[in-house]
Amino acid sequence: MVDAPDVSLDAMPHPAPDVDPADLGPLLGGLSAPLAAVSTRSGDVSNAQIAVAITAASIVPQRPRLIVQIYHTNFTHGLIAASGVLAINFLEWEQLPLIWQLGMHSGRDGNKLESVSHTTGATGSPLLEGCYGYLDCRVVNAMDGGDMTAFLVEAVAGRTNGGERMTWREARPRLPRRWADEWDRKIAGEIDVSLHTMDSIDPTPWPGRPVT
């Protein structure tokens, strides 16, 4: 067997993909994930943010795993990286205002959970009251994406509380116009950051990765 050449990721070319976002929109829109607040705690600091990139990552019912994408610029990212834990709080329709409260403000500027009723899960992560359900998780691995980190997490506890969960695709039309416009401006700024950072991938293994 011939050994593969030792080529670092930094040395590999990163050509711009030849894609038209208008062509891919219908395909990517069909992948809309449940709208959730991802919460975590590191030391005495707790935080939560709105996340719309959450997918299942296991076919084993008794070992549920998910992939949760968190952008480097988010305050929550550093807390998850430090603690190795997070909770996924699936929002239901009566919690629509949390999109503004948790999604449009940074935890660097104050405690976003101060006025949000919550308890503490087994991992220490905040669990929001009144949500459709939650998964309390620990990080088992992570992959850097340049502009974000894809955390592979395993649920250690969870519960469905009832109600009706929502996706971002469903929630967007129901947002007040001012909220939707502000969200668009926020996302436009984040896209600009991602365009400049998404190729700067750090291949260093997740420090909490189990030894095999």
Centroid of chain to Cα 195: 18
Sheet holding 133-144, edge to edge: 45-51, 36-42, 85-90, 133-144, 148-160, 65-71, 54-56
Which bin fits 151, alpha (ψ -120 to 50), beta or left (φ > 0)? Answer: beta
- Provide the pLDDT for residue 17: 67
**Beta partners for 150?**
69, 143
- What does each C-alpha distance from 153 to 24, 60, 87, 111 come to in angstroms? 28, 14, 10, 25
DSSP, res 164: -
Q: What is the mean pLDDT of each run of 10 residues along the chain (212 residues)?
A: 44 61 73 88 96 91 95 96 96 93 91 94 96 96 96 96 86 90 91 92 80 44
pTM summary value: 0.86
pLDDT of residue 15: 60
pLDDT of residue 16: 62
Domains of the chain (ranges plus CATH)? 31-197 (2.30.110.10)
CA dist 155 and 127 (Å) reads 13
- For residue 18, the model assigns a pLDDT of 72
